[in-house]
């Protein structure tokens, strides 16, 4: 059986919030790869992008994803929204966990990111302009659609976690 439960999806889709709830329900560790990167580099993500560029961020992200997937104990792992664009990361994580994709209506997603204080500033790829954000989401759709989709638009994190557990149980 694949060990971990891994959450992907666009910025603001609820990966971190749902992941925490899910990990608590299972009694597993929760790991947020963005948090690991920030801790490792000692600077917030926008600063990594500004100082070293997105390419460097993606290298560190791939390394962190590989490391956390190798953990012995099962964990709920929330990925940054772009982590699975890397084919090697995809291959590795698909082998080591069941991946679920959280999806959310774009307007609600923009509200969530803008509502959270400082959240938009913490996401260098977040565009306040709807059309640009939509284009980024469209470009990623083929990757996100590889995985079971869980809609979070109108559901609480508890209900989303419940639905992931239900689907996960059918895969075991």
Q: Which residues of this protein are in contact with ligand S3P, per CB under 6 A?
A: 11, 15, 34, 45, 80-82, 123-125
Q: Cβ-closest residue to ligand S3P?
A: 80
Shortest CB 92 distance to ligand S3P, Å: 17
CA-to-CA separations, 105 to 19, 30, 59, 111, in angstroms, rounded? 19, 25, 30, 10
By beta-carbon proximity to ligand S3P, the closer residue of 62 and 125 is 125
Contacts of 21-28 spanning 24+ positions with Cβ under 8 A: 21/157, 21/158, 21/160, 21/161, 22/76, 22/161, 22/164, 22/165, 23/75, 23/76, 25/161, 25/165, 26/74, 26/76, 26/165, 28/73, 28/74, 28/75, 28/76
By beta-carbon proximity to ligand S3P, the closer residue of 51 and 171 is 51
Shortest CB 80 distance to ligand S3P, Å: 2
By beta-carbon proximity to ligand S3P, the closer residue of 34 and 98 is 34
Shortest CB 29 distance to ligand S3P, Å: 18
Contact of 19 with 80, CB cutoff 8 Å: no
By beta-carbon proximity to ligand S3P, the closer residue of 74 and 80 is 80
Distance separating alpha carbons of residues 20 and 61, to the nearest angstrom: 20
Shortest CB 119 distance to ligand S3P, Å: 8
By beta-carbon proximity to ligand S3P, the closer residue of 98 and 101 is 101
Shortest CB 123 distance to ligand S3P, Å: 5
């Amino acid at each position: 059986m694949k060990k971990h439960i891994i959450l992907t999806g666009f910025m603001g889709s609820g990966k971190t919030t749902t992941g925490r709830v899910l990990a608590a329900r299972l009694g597993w560790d929760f790991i947020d790869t963005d948090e690991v990167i920030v801790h490792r580099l000692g600077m917030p993500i926008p600063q990594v992008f500004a100082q070293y560029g997105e390419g460097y961020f993606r290298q560190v992200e791939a390394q962190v994803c590989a490391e956390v997937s190798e953990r012995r104990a099962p964990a709920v792992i929330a990925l940054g929204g772009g982590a699975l664009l890397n084919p090697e990361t995809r291959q590795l994580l698909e082998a080591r966990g069941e991946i679920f994709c959280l999806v959310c209506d774009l307007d609600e997603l923009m509200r969530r990111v803008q509502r959270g204080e400082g959240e938009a500033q913490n996401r260098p790829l977040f565009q306040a302009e709807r059309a640009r954000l939509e284009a980024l989401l469209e470009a990623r759709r083929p990757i996100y659609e590889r995985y079971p989709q869980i809609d979070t638009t109108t559901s609480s994190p508890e209900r989303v976690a419940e639905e992931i557990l239900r689907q996960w149980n059918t895969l075991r």
